[in-house]
A and B are shown apart, each in its own frame.
Chain A
Amino acid sequence: MLSANQIQALLEGVSLTLRVFALAAVLGTVLALLFGIASLSDNRVLRWVSRIYVEVARGASAVVLLFYAAFAVPILLGVRSGRSFVFWAAVVALGVNMGGYGAEVVRTGIQSVPRGQTEAAISLNLRFIDRLRHVTLPQALVVMLPPYGNLSIEVLKATALVSLVGLADLTAEAQNLRVQRAVSGPRAATSLAIFGTALVFYFVMAQLLALLFRWLEQRLAGDWYRGRS
């Protein structure tokens, strides 16, 4: 079994994992909304820019983006890389990757709103931004939430990759414990306990995230029922 110190180390990893996840999720959501809405624009240039963004952000994969951001981007920018640079590079890489998938969720969500809704909003003389805020987005949200919940869990899982570029997240802490045991311990039977515990921590975080989204979906359904939007 794991000692209190080992559990402590894993929990410190959890804290970094959660910070990377939260920041990447915020960035990813902003990018998803921006590019998702831009992909439905009347402007052809905007549509193309968002198409290219989506293809590259998804196609490059989280791990390739992460290594590029952590090791090639500092040279590109001519800056000295340090621990905090790598942290923000990881947040940006995961956020950009999530934004690519999220933009598609936003796009299909908005497209699922019947055309008549937009036409009615136009005939009521609502500006583009008000149409989005008061008419299309609230209705699209119902369709967007379930895939968005799945996407968030994928991003949570992807945070494990940051251990590969030297950040001390849950996965990295588990690896550290394993290496320490290999050096000092009598037998590495504890590696089962170490990685088993790390997996359970990830599982619990993912389940909490799933619960949060289920709660949001129910709340949204309640709002609909009461006639608010």
Chain B
Amino acid sequence: MFAQVAFSWDWDYALDTLPKIARGLWQTVVATIVGISIGMVLGLVLALLRRSRHRIIRWPTIALIEFVRSTPLLVQLFFIFYVLPNFGVVLSPFVALVLGLGIHYGTYTSESYRAGIENVEVGQWEAATALNLSAATTWSRIVLPQAIPTVIPALGNYLVAMFKDAPLGFAIAAGGILLEAQAEASRSFRPMEPYTIMGVLFLAVSIPAAFFVRYLERRYGYERV
């Protein structure tokens, strides 16, 4: 079972490959930032559609949110990248990745926005009505400014979660830390160094990020939904 050759760690090779994997990490970070931006906007739209008075809008929105939430991001990425071109939508791997991340996490953030909106007191709505504010003004000046700050720590959580999913761009050749590490490993036949560097670099970003989000949670006195 155990081979006699012990593994060896080659520092020269590790230092040689480090910049490439670090570049991959940067691509993953960029994809995460673009992805969360899409997810935050889409989530708000979904949350508002879900509150629509019309069943024709409300029900399909609920169904879409439920479906996207309970299916794997990886298959959704394949869907976007391989199925949409048959319908004339050809996307670059990077765009497909950030769109996939944005849609997947948009369904998550929409639930946080919903909780945030529902937490705005009824009296605020009544006051807006009493002041004869239009629906647009009520939302943009009264409800959302109170709802969104309470959602910020939840969005932070999804930012960290998305960072952990962003390496999946590997599957559609969209670049990123996993693609770089895998390319290095298969080029050199030395998987040990690239994958270890990937793990260490990844933790070096995700653990501080998680601590920062927990600090935000304490600071804003937010309770996990």
Which residues of A pack against B, CB within 8 Å?
Answer: 55-56, 58-65, 67-68, 71-72, 75-80, 153, 157-161, 163-164, 171, 174-175, 178, 187-189, 191-192, 195-196, 198-199, 202-203, 206-207, 210
Instruction: Decide yes or no: A79 and B206 within 8 Å by CB, A62-B164, A175-B78 being known contacts.
Output: no
B72 and A171: CB pair below 8 A? yes
A72 and B70: CB pair below 8 A? no
CA of A160 to CA of B75 in the docked complex: distance in angstroms?
Answer: 8
* B1-15 near A? 1/0 per residue, CB < 8 Å: 111111100000000
Please give the number of chain B residues whose Cβ is less than 8 angstroms from any Cβ of chain A in the complex: 42
A68 and B195: CB pair below 8 A? yes
**Which residues on the A side are within 8 Å of B86 (C-beta)?**
187-189, 191-192
Residue B212 lies at the interface, judged by CB distance under 8 Å to chain A: no
CA of A48 to CA of B207 in the docked complex: distance in angstroms?
Answer: 15
- Which interface residue of A56, A72, A178 has the most chain B CB atoms within 10 A? A72
Residue B134 lies at the interface, judged by CB distance under 8 Å to chain A: no
CA of A58 to CA of B157 in the docked complex: distance in angstroms?
Answer: 12
Closest to B76 in A: A199
Query: A71 is contacted by which of B7, B71, B185, B207 (Cβ under 8 Å)?
Result: B185
Q: Give the segment of B46-54, B89-97, B125-133, B165-173 that binds chain A.
A: B165-173
Query: B71 is contacted by which of A79, A157, A178, A191 (Cβ under 8 Å)?
Result: A157
Instruction: Decide yes or no: A192 and B83 within 8 Å by CB, A60-B199, A72-B196, A198-B75 being known contacts.
Output: yes
**Which residues on the A side are within 8 Å of B181 (C-beta)?**
67
A55 and B72: CB pair below 8 A? no
- Which interface residue of A60, A61, A75, A163 has the most chain B CB atoms within 10 A? A61
B167 and A206: CB pair below 8 A? no
A195 and B178: CB pair below 8 A? no
**Chain A: interface secondary structure?**
helix
CA of A59 to CA of B208 in the docked complex: distance in angstroms?
Answer: 9
**Which residues on the A side are within 8 Å of B26 (C-beta)?**
none
Residue B103 lies at the interface, judged by CB distance under 8 Å to chain A: no
B168 and A63: CB pair below 8 A? yes
29 contacts between A and B (CB under 8 A): A55-B210, A56-B207, A58-B210, A60-B199, A61-B202, A64-B164, A68-B196, A68-B199, A71-B191, A72-B191, A72-B196, A78-B3, A78-B6, A78-B7, A79-B1, A79-B3, A153-B70, A157-B70, A164-B171, A189-B86, A191-B82, A191-B86, A192-B86, A195-B79, A198-B75, A199-B76, A203-B70, A206-B71, A210-B70
B179 to chain A, nearest CB (A): 11
A199 and B202: CB pair below 8 A? no
**Which residues on the A side are within 8 Å of B82 (C-beta)?**
178, 188, 191, 195
A77 and B74: CB pair below 8 A? no
**Which residues on the B side are within 8 Å of A75 (C-beta)?**
7, 191-192
Query: A171 is contacted by which of B6, B74, B210 (Cβ under 8 Å)?
Result: B74
**Which residues on the A side are within 8 Å of B164 (C-beta)?**
61-64
CA of A62 to CA of B171 in the docked complex: distance in angstroms?
Answer: 15
CA of A192 to CA of B163 in the docked complex: distance in angstroms?
Answer: 28
B178 and A64: CB pair below 8 A? yes
**Which residues on the B side are within 8 Å of A196 (C-beta)?**
79, 83
**Which residues on the B side are within 8 Å of A67 (C-beta)?**
178, 181-182, 195, 198
A60 and B2: CB pair below 8 A? no
